[in-house]
Amino acid sequence: MNVLVVNAGSSSLKLRLLDRDDTVVATADLPADGDVARALREWPTPAAVGHRIVHGGTDFTAAVRIDERVRTRLDELTSLAPLHQPKSLSALDAVTRVLPEVPAVACFDTAFHTTIPPAAATYAVPREWQQRYGVRRYGFHGLSHAYCSRRAIELTGARRLVTCHLGAGGSLAAVVDGQSVDTTMGFTPLEGLVMATRSGTVDPGLVLWLEEHEHQTPHEVASALERRSGLLALAGTADMREVQDRAAAGDPEASLAFDVYIHRLVISIGAMAAAAGGIDSLVFTGGIGENSADVRHHAATRLAHLGIALDPARNDGDGTDRDVTADGARARTLVIAAREDVQIARETRAALSAR
């Protein structure tokens, strides 16, 4: 069946119509409040709609057909993803108004990580927080990690993967036999790697100190960590391409920003490799992961002890879904195109077939 994939971001709405072979036959990139009806007017009516939903909580461990009960529960989960969930639900409602008779499926960024074992998912915090508030490691970017790990397994047959989704947001996953066993994002998408405007992991004591001694409100601290940190705070730009260009020209702030980014990336890959019990393949995806040969090179150079080594010509080459491993390296390194749309379409078909 052909599937309309709806991917709502913080400021954009991406629509992709995929045929039964997952070929994109129509595409539209709209502002978040764009006219969905106008965009879809000229397209053939899809057999199903697949929506990317950021947070499924502990309720949804796989894609699910959306009915009134599911829609209500998704709204109730908004507090766990206040920046992202409302955008997803707004897009869901807009598309439903245009295609009210077409079955719709929710596909969750958290679902892939529901296989993480308790030892990795549990924070050492009061049990009451866990039981009352659902405090645990949820993980995100699951649709991307699911797709690129499956694609990497198709190409290499590897059992133990570390998948690196590096874009404006960034996270890693440890994947064993196709299942997530750990990831760098946690209760929120703020934990883990240094990102474009997000800090990644910081000492929680810093947050308490700012609120107690500097009298900053939770909103002020959250806004700073989510929107004014990361590469933007260190280099004055959230664009990794500009960071790299300025670092190559000798700019000290950009050089530090790049070094901090690589340091956090490398130690996090090491942690994920440990969670997986070793590493057979390292996989890069996302805007930075696919397009920055420098990021891959600098990361790999510091991961030689894990058997990672890149061939310079392959690493600098063009194209995705390619092997950039140096001859003789113990572990393979791949560059895989991010295809959340394909993952959403496949999960949508599977959810409807299961019914």
Active-site amino acid positions: 109
| Alpha carbons 196 and 231: distance in angstroms, whole number | 5
Which residue carries 């991010």 as its tokens? 338
| Alpha carbons 132 and 10: distance in angstroms, whole number | 29
Classified as helix, coil or strand, 14 is strand
Question: How distant is the alpha carbon of residue 345 from its chain centre?
Answer: 17
- Give the pair of three-digit tokens for residue 98: 């245009």
Q: Are 221 and 211 in contact (CB under 8 A)?
A: yes
Q: Are 243 and 265 in contact (CB under 8 A)?
A: no
At a CB cut-off of 8 Å and minimum separation 6, what does 22 contact?
342, 345, 346
| Alpha carbons 138 and 246: distance in angstroms, whole number | 36
- Give the pair of three-digit tokens for residue 96: 């439903």
∠ CA 223-229-231 to the nearest 5 degrees? 150
In what side-by-side order are the strands of the sheet with 281-285? Answer: 179-183, 170-176, 160-166, 281-285, 332-335, 322-323
DSSP 57: T
